[in-house]
Chain A
């Protein structure tokens, strides 16, 4: 029996496994379905990774490599080309790989399966169904891993970071990126990516617009873009026609939690991830979750931090048992979409609590208020907040311990 099984060898799983090892666990296995470790970072060949974690600007593969090397110097076992088929509530894990289908058991589990991209179906774009409609990540894989181009005349729907990165990447490879189209009145990506990937290449960004028709019987031949009203409904008379062979979708990411649901773990409909405590424990004792499988992050640096906490907590669980007792609940107040964690153990040994959340609209100079009922516990000032940029506050655990329910609210200053 393993002390810890880590499901997924991307940045979250690597950081969790390494951290658990540092805390003294020795019998750890990482289960990775791909043929190498690193997860989606392997296809993210642009730079900008690691500014917080390593104080350096690394590419995705370089960032992954740092962690892979760290893990390689430990006794952590890595099973590649191995897919977890099922996890049971009593921590049996059914795995499938060319070397066999088997059941393994672990005292603790870290879920770090990452996320997947929303597709055309998720947003019901009407029209025909030709080839040439890709999620941005699939096009990125073709280009950066396989050396193949998704197309030559490109429209990008959604201003999520992968879409923005791909606008620049496709342009550098000789494609003509005609437009980036975003249904919301603000971008879904990081400001730095808007500047470096669109503005620097004169790619127009159409906010409050969407794709309303797709044409082409075999390959994509063209599409219609329309302006939308405040209810995101297309406004007649605003049609723009694009002659293109490729549509890339960057319309959101969804945590990949089929295994989590299968194990009967409680899910938060706001994040599409598991409900977690401050130590990243889920509703099943000894099962932890971290990274994009819990909530979608913007920066891998924060995935690593969060996952290190999950790994350390798994070690603590194996060595000293579960944290029991009373629970403090976190809830999202006005203009906040969710919080992670959603629950805090009142008896937590942590001195400070990291709270992550996203706001629901764009804020200028603003405040984040942590309160309990009418009591303001702490106020954090922010110069700017947007839904595309995950917010992070750190609060002393002692300040929260006297309350049952904590609310996180955002408002203009």
Chain B
């Protein structure tokens, strides 16, 4: 019998698992994919929003603003890449200038620190590549960029170290109520638990309906992106947003925490799990982006991708308790930016609902991650002398060593795919997109996991890479 079963191991499930792992609870996380952070968490704008966007009085506003500091602190504790670069919302007309003013006022009401409305000249001074027809901009110094999948992974990893059980490829098939909790069938196995936390992202509506009467729908909505080479990574200094308009929310242009440039997203209703891109949508993203930053060189694109937002029929996050079943659903934008606050809120909600949270005598809340590229010359020399595997660079574009890859493979959540390695240590994330290091990562994975190279998948289970010649 488990105390808590968390369904879904994206950034929300892992944030909650991290917090709950401090307590004397028997907790299991059920994830349908073969790794953590496989849904919205792996494909989004990777931004910790400052919190001026959500309407006053909503959970979204409260938890977003609350999370800004929490996230910064967590990233430091967990060795997760984070950079507080600030954001700008550009206005291009009087109407949009008025919108920027409204955002400013809303931000003040939401308690966002440091907001300023800048003139064109002031904006140009700190963001030189903006278009000439910008009228003014809202500056939010607390906005940040992070690595979202590493954030979720780090949280989940610490939770596992503290004793939380993570079951991968355990899609929930059925839930039934018992006298003192629930029975869940997941991945062909049955477990009993006192409490359920539904953090299933785009599937959260379906999970809710397995246990409780229908109250909301998840409306999956896709956003498509360009990711440009690091040679374009200094095109902007801040996260550069646009005002929402008739044609959509506007696309952003921003450096990523890794030093690339990200451009997107659009917003298109879709099926859950549909992360395809289309030529028309990408053309739209491009045309919108150059309104803000006309000089973006799209020839430096290294990857297009799409992520699916778990939008819902409710205008706010859905965080509610019903008889030991806790919905944490409809976590749309600013979901990543609110994750830390959401987990804190859920913890309090559980306590309010009679869940006994007794702190363990010992637990950890930190994690280290070696990053060869970020080391000084002296640190590099020292680590190679200590472990010669750090002397062999596997991913040339991102300067990722064999030492880092082996370290990732032997961590508490074992990566079994080439993309899982990419999410853990950035091998294959660069300009050649794994053209050079892909075969070597396959070889290292097969060697360390004791399987053959044909058994290594690229991403989801079944996404095999190579076959034997004689097959």
- When distances are taken between beta carbons in the complex, the residues of chain B under 8 Å from A151 are 467
How many B residues touch A, CB cutoff 8 Å?
58
- B469–A148 touching, CB < 8 Å: yes
Q: How far is the CB of A133 from chain B (nearest CB, A)?
A: 9
- A122–B377 touching, CB < 8 Å: no
Segment at the interface with A among B63-71, B138-146, B300-308: B300-308
CA distance A203 to B302 in the complex (A): 30
- A148–B380 touching, CB < 8 Å: no
Question: Which residue of the partner chain, among A101, A128, A135, contacts B276 with CB atoms under 8 Å?
Answer: A128
Question: Which residue of the partner chain, among A98, A124, A128, A149, contacts B392 with CB atoms under 8 Å?
Answer: A98
Known A-B contacts A119-B435, A149-B469; the reply to A101 vs B275 at CB < 8 A is: no
Known A-B contacts A127-B277, A219-B463; the reply to A122 vs B301 at CB < 8 A is: yes
- When distances are taken between beta carbons in the complex, the residues of chain B under 8 Å from A83 are 392-393, 396
Pair count A-B, CB < 8 A: 144
- A219–B464 touching, CB < 8 Å: yes
B278 at interface, CB cutoff 8 A: yes
- When distances are taken between beta carbons in the complex, the residues of chain A under 8 Å from B471 are 149
**For chain B, what secondary structure do more than half of its interface residues adopt (helix, strand, loop), or is it mixed?**
mixed
B388 at interface, CB cutoff 8 A: yes
Known A-B contacts A96-B380, A146-B453; the reply to A138 vs B435 at CB < 8 A is: yes
- B457–A131 touching, CB < 8 Å: yes
A335 at interface, CB cutoff 8 A: no
Q: How many interface residues does chain A have, given as a range? A: 35 or more
- When distances are taken between beta carbons in the complex, the residues of chain A under 8 Å from B432 are 116-117, 119
Q: How far is the CB of B283 from chain A (nearest CB, A)?
A: 9
- When distances are taken between beta carbons in the complex, the residues of chain A under 8 Å from B279 are 124, 126, 212, 234
- Over the window 440-471 of chain B, the binary record of Cβ atoms lying under 8 Å from chain A Cβ atoms (1 yes, 0 no) is 00010000000001100111111111111101
Known A-B contacts A98-B389, A126-B276, A141-B439; the reply to A120 vs B453 at CB < 8 A is: no
- B435–A124 touching, CB < 8 Å: no
Chain B residue, CB-CB nearest to A143: B469
Question: Which residue of the partner chain, among B436, B438, B461, contacts A116 with CB atoms under 8 Å?
Answer: B436
CA distance A147 to B468 in the complex (A): 7
B384 at interface, CB cutoff 8 A: yes
- B399–A98 touching, CB < 8 Å: no
B268 at interface, CB cutoff 8 A: no
- A124–B282 touching, CB < 8 Å: yes
CA distance A85 to B395 in the complex (A): 12
- A97–B460 touching, CB < 8 Å: no
A192 at interface, CB cutoff 8 A: no
A363 at interface, CB cutoff 8 A: no
Q: How far is the CB of A139 from chain B (nearest CB, A)?
A: 9
- B381–A101 touching, CB < 8 Å: yes
B343 at interface, CB cutoff 8 A: no
Q: How far is the CB of A84 from chain B (nearest CB, A)?
A: 10
- B377–A103 touching, CB < 8 Å: yes
- A149–B468 touching, CB < 8 Å: yes
**Closest A-B pairs by Cβ, 10 of them:** A131-B458, A98-B388, A218-B462, A98-B391, A148-B466, A121-B303, A131-B463, A218-B463, A121-B302, A83-B393
Q: Can you show 29 pairs from A to B with CB atoms below 8 A apart?
A: A85-B380, A96-B380, A96-B384, A97-B392, A98-B389, A100-B381, A100-B391, A116-B436, A120-B433, A121-B227, A121-B303, A122-B299, A122-B302, A124-B226, A124-B282, A124-B304, A127-B276, A127-B278, A131-B464, A141-B439, A146-B439, A148-B467, A149-B467, A150-B465, A212-B279, A217-B460, A218-B461, A219-B462, A258-B397
Given contacts A124-B226, A128-B275, A131-B464, 18 further A-B contacts (CB under 8 A): A83-B396, A98-B389, A98-B391, A98-B392, A101-B383, A101-B385, A117-B432, A119-B435, A120-B433, A121-B301, A126-B282, A130-B459, A141-B439, A147-B468, A148-B453, A148-B454, A173-B469, A218-B460
